[in-house]
Amino acid sequence: MRKRWMAGGIALLATVVLAGAAFAAAGASRGSTVTLTLWHNYGTGGNAAATNNLVAAFEKENPSIKIKVISQPSANYFSLLQASGISHSGPDLAVMWTGLFDLKYEKLLVNLKPYFTAAEMAKINGLKWVAPNFNPAKGFLVMPLENQFYMGFYNKALFKKAGLSGPPKNWSQLYSACAKLKAAGVAAPIVYGADPQAIQSSPYPWYDMSYLMGAILSPAQFKGLYTGQVSWTSPAIVAQVSKWVALPKKGCTNSDVLTKTDILGAFAKGQAAMIIDGNWDAATLQKALGNKVAPFVPPFSDKPQQAVVQYSGDGFSLTSYSKHRKEGAAFLKFLTTPQASKIIAAAGLIPDILGSRSASSLTNQMLDFAAKQHMTPYPMIDNVTQSEVVTTGSKQLDDALGGNISALAALKSMKATLDALPAARKGPVYSG
Amino acid sequence: MSSLAVARGHATRLWRRRLTRSLVYLTLLVTTVVMLYPFWYMADNAFRSLEQYQLQSGFSLDSWRELFRTLPIGRQLVNSTILTMGSIALILVASTTAGYALGVLRYRYSSAVFLLIISSMMVPMQSIIIPEYVNLARLGFINHFYGAILVYAALGAPFSTFLMTAYFRRLPEDVIEAALMDGLGYGRIFLQIMLPLAVPAIVTIVVLQFIQIWDDLLVGLLFLQTPDVRPITVGLATIPSQHLLNVPVLMAGSLISAAPAIAVYLVFQRYLIAGLTTGVSK
Amino acid sequence: MLENNATIVLAIPVAILLPLGVALLINSHVRGWRVFRSVFFLPTAVSWVVIGFVAVRFFANDGILHDLLTRVGLGFIHPDALSHERSALIAVMITFVWSMFGTNLIIFLAGMATIDQEIYDAAKVDGASAFGVMFRITIPLLKRFVQFTFVITLITAFTALFSLIFVMTGGGPGFGTTTLEFFIYQDGFAQSYFGLGATAGVVLFVAVFAVSMLQLRLLRVDD
């Protein structure tokens, strides 16, 4: 038995020595340039390219600051970020989502107001969605990187073949478009299925929900859903969601709405006429379909749809434990410059600076919905609804769309989830 | 019975045996297809570009180039190796000594301890990993191999101890008694007699733990946050983003990542079976 | 949620019996049995994410399963398994059985290697049929190995299954495939309510402890 203790002792000793060595190494590396760390969860797409190019341009202008960019797994990213706060091994700058997400991590983030001039802040699009209690007077927690859209896409060639001149604008136009498309041989007028290309294989109902709710509530009324003053089971909402879950029965979709895989590919191959998705797939679709593809606002409305979901979806934050706040803030301020906008647009994104245009014609058409057709911009509803309700809804709304339960049953369980939350999570002051 | 009838009976039996044999082969071949299907899927899609994947036509090496361009595959394979080897070494130290204590020496509450070890095998990692993280963070063990190795060892030790205990209990007691008569202490008996006898069980632990630790994502993700120490599974997990997943690149990476675990199995296969044979039998 | 856990436990006998059957075939030492033995274990080295990813494409409505059924003229069945709560759970269970196949097979092959050839020879002399040998001799002698596979399969069902559920169904449709450990992952870990996760972990530990007591009786390693 003594051997065992000795072995344990040696292992412990070795560990202590190693740990000591590591501390010494950490202390020794102090130079004149400041090195910051930036974490993102952007994988290998356009956002990652934009981030790398922004950092390169910033370092060129500020030779005394270096930024080390680290790509983190997107699954579990926020758990990791929170855990790294505990161990102080986290980054100085980190990708952060907006709306209730940044409020949830508010304690980990620095309020950026003191570092920005009023003129710089005035340039930021949708500043309220990154502000504490969604009130920009209280400052803001995230410098948004890009302006995002939840968006429908339709195939103009298929529409023409079916004798349709433009995309549908309300429910009844949608039904007749579905019938005409079916008659013209399009098996799936709107294609639903596993979230396009995502690793988790279930549809994400919140793109559609944003438009379903946008048709009957004003952006300000979304707060009622948060506090419970507007009940998830109120008749208008039940009616909207019931119409949506009836789409498969109306012949508007493919039959396997929950499980069809690679639906983006199906749309790209011209097997489907419409898809509800987001601006991040615009480049892929344009590559596959050229000028046959165009965006449209999902017409889930009795009156012509006037809502467009246009929202500063993600950006960068400065962490509260960062020892280089000034330098980190300098990078975030850099994002408001025209030079940064150019870099962001070149990566296929829309800079979140008021009045920005994009490099892609498809994306510019999306910007025109609010800018030229005077539609009302809405936030992504899943960013301003409690995450527990979003999780319940993701499962239950899917289940309803699949025809297993009624719309009312799905909404009831969302209401139950909201009811079970503590008062502070649905009070007058927004809390993540 | 005429010789003709005998011959006919013989022929029927021969025919029946052939039928059975073909049925056996048919079953095995169908099983082979079912078991190998994911490999075919990975290979079929790894050699396509993203567009070729979406349209399901055409092959190229684009995704392999993309994989090696975006991820330091070599470095991450080395990291995975260090982690896996280090953890297995620690698991072996803990499980052979503990298995010897519980299986051979036995003491008053050894069955109670054994029961606790068995139940701790079934606690989901997700529920204890954060408290564990906090503890190691206080010690400053985050972003160092030894921190993650300690965690892997803690997670892998219960099952390995269970296996070693079972194995040691199978060994004939007279071996130990004879050694005691010869004046050997329990420490020496362990090192000189029990350990050499335990080689098959040790190999079993090595193979099973290798696959487990090599394929793990969560521990690597939390405890090794910087790219220099990141294992390959965490590297691969950085490929998908919130909205986009490059399937062909992920498949190419998964093929590379699966290869070492397969190699370890093929090399140690024979010992693995021998270890399981003695570890569990009787 | 525990109900889903309980249903998944029903997959365990299948996850044991299928490899047992195939092990018996391989153990008849047909030509090439070594190759089969190696091949059948290989999927164990593939990560859960990839297994789940491929399984989704197998069970999808226009997936390979439907393709196969259509080819043999059973296209009208159209399972679309992942769309409905019960069948989604069954699809997850089938995938789970598949992923445990290699490990359990190896354990049984190891078990069969312990059985003395002489016992078989004696049985043959006594005129026992192949089935008789299987049920009267081989399987009873494998009792301990069956128990061992039971432990391993149960552990995996309790601790590792969540990755499979995550990729295949995300716990849906509805809460059809949400098990307790998936709940722990989703609410405790993914949403960063670490305290809640730890609490749910304690609940699961207690549940598991009860099962372990039972297991200890089953296993009774000390004789």
Q: Same domain, yes or no, for B179 and B220? A: yes
Max Cα distance, chain B (Å): 90
Confidence of residue C192 (pLDDT cuts 50, 70, 90): low
Q: Establish if B160 touches chain C: CB-CB under 8 angstroms.
A: no
Assess if residue B57 is contained within a domain.
no
- B141, B144, B187 ranked by CB distance to A2: nearest: B187
B83 pLDDT more than 80: yes
Q: Establish if B4 touches chain C: CB-CB under 8 angstroms.
A: no
> Are β-strands A272-278 and A188-191 bridged in parallel, bridged antiparallel, or unpaired?
parallel
Confidence of residue A161 (pLDDT cuts 50, 70, 90): very high
Read off the pLDDT of residues A341-391 as tens digits, 9 standing for 90 and up. Answer: 999 999 989 999 998 888 888 999 999 999 999 999 999 999 999 988 998
Q: Same domain, yes or no, for B195 and B76? A: yes
Q: Same domain, yes or no, for B103 and B7? A: no
The kind and range of the H/E element at A71 are strand A65-71
Task: Give the separation between CA C169 and CA C167, rounded to whole angstroms.
Answer: 6
- C58, C151, C198 ranked by CB distance to B127: nearest: C198
Identify the pLDDT of residue A7. 43
User: What is the distance in angstroms between the CA of the first residue and the CA of the last residue of chain B?
Assistant: 47
A10 pLDDT more than 60: no
Q: Same domain, yes or no, for B147 and B266? A: yes
- A104, A200, A256 ranked by CB distance to C170: nearest: A200
Q: At what angle do helices C48-59 and B247-280 cross, to 10 degrees?
A: 110
Identify the pLDDT of residue C212. 62
**Is A402's CB within 8 Å of C171's CB?**
no
Domain containing residue B32:
3-46
Assess if residue B60 is contained within a domain.
no
Q: Same domain, yes or no, for B33 and B74? A: no
Residue with tokens 């889930």: A300
Q: Is residue A254 helix, strand or coil?
A: coil
Q: How many CB pairs under 8 A join A and B?
A: 124
Query: CA of A259: which chain C residue's CA is closest?
Result: C60
**Is B137's CB within 8 Å of A48's CB?**
no
C3 pLDDT more than 80: no
Assess if residue B168 is contained within a domain.
yes
Q: Is residue A217 helix, strand or coil?
A: coil
Read off the pLDDT of residues B263-276 as tens digits, 9 standing for 90 and up. Answer: 888 888 877 877 77
Q: Establish if A138 touches chain B: CB-CB under 8 angstroms.
A: no
Mean pLDDT of chain A: 89
**Is B241's CB within 8 Å of A43's CB?**
yes
Q: By mean pLDDT, which of A142-146, B75-79, C150-154 is the weakest?
A: C150-154
Q: How many CB pairs under 8 A join B and C?
A: 176
**Is C47's CB within 8 Å of B254's CB?**
yes
| Residue to test with chain C: of B18, B120, B122, B129, most C Cβ within 10 A | B122
The DSSP-derived string for A31-48 is: -SSEEEEEEE--TTSHHH
CB–CB of C38/C109 below 8 Å? no
Q: Is residue A209 helix, strand or coil?
A: helix
B20 pLDDT more than 90: no
Tell me the shortest Cα–Cα distance from A299 to chain C, in angstroms: 25
Torsion sign over Cα A108, A109, A114, A115: positive
Residue-wise burial string across B158-195, b where 16 or more C-beta atoms lie within 10 A, e elsewhere: bbbbbbbbbbbbbbeeeebeebeeeebebeebbeebbe
Assess if residue B59 is contained within a domain.
no
The domain locations on chain C are 2-219
Task: Give the separation between CA C20 and CA A128, rounded to whole angstroms.
Answer: 62
- Which residue did the predictor score with more confidence, A236 or B120? A236
Q: Which fold has domain C2-219?
A: MetI-like fold (1.10.3720)
Identify the pLDDT of residue B278. 65
Q: Same domain, yes or no, for B37 and B94? A: no
Half-sphere exposure of C209 (CA within 13 A, CB side): 9
Read off the pLDDT of residues A272-317 as tens digits, 9 standing for 90 and up. Answer: 999 999 998 898 889 889 999 999 999 999 999 999 999 998 999 9
CATH number at residue B166: 1.10.3720.10
Query: Which of C143, C138, C153 has its CA nearest to residue C104?
Result: C153
Task: Give the separation between CA A189 and CA A194, rounded to whole angstroms.
Answer: 17
Highest mean pLDDT among A316-320, B20-24, B33-37, C99-103: A316-320
Identify the pLDDT of residue C197. 73
Q: Establish if A86 touches chain B: CB-CB under 8 angstroms.
A: yes
CB–CB of A151/A363 below 8 Å? no
Read off the pLDDT of residues B99-116 as tens digits, 9 standing for 90 and up. Answer: 988 888 877 788 778 877
Q: Is residue A404 helix, strand or coil?
A: coil
Q: Same domain, yes or no, for B19 and B117? A: no
Q: Same domain, yes or no, for B76 and B148? A: yes
CB–CB of A166/A152 below 8 Å? no
A194 pLDDT more than 80: no
Strand partners, A188: A272
Q: If you ran DSSP here, which 8-state letter would residue A304 be given?
A: P
Residue C111's identity, in one-letter code, is: G
Identify the pLDDT of residue C219. 55
pLDDT mean over C102-121: 81
The domains of chain A, with CATH numbers, are: 32-148+313-371 (3.40.190.10), 149-310+376-425 (3.40.190.10)
- Which residue did the predictor score with more confidence, C34 or C97? C97
Q: Establish if A74 touches chain B: CB-CB under 8 angstroms.
A: yes
Residue B13's identity, in one-letter code, is: R
Read off the pLDDT of residues B152-198 as tens digits, 9 standing for 90 and up. Answer: 999 899 889 988 888 888 777 788 888 888 888 888 888 888 888 88
Phi first, then psi: give them for residue C181, nearest 5 degrees. -75, -25
Q: By mean pLDDT, which of B209-218, C87-96, C144-153 is the weakest?
A: C144-153
Domain tally, chain B = 2
Contact residues, A window 263-292, toward B, CB-based 8 Å cutoff = 264-265, 268-269, 278, 280-281, 287-288
Confidence of residue B135 (pLDDT cuts 50, 70, 90): confident
Identify the pLDDT of residue C179. 73
Q: Same domain, yes or no, for B86 and B150? A: yes
Identify the pLDDT of residue A1. 39
Assess if residue B194 is contained within a domain.
yes
Confidence of residue B4 (pLDDT cuts 50, 70, 90): low
pLDDT mean over C37-54: 84
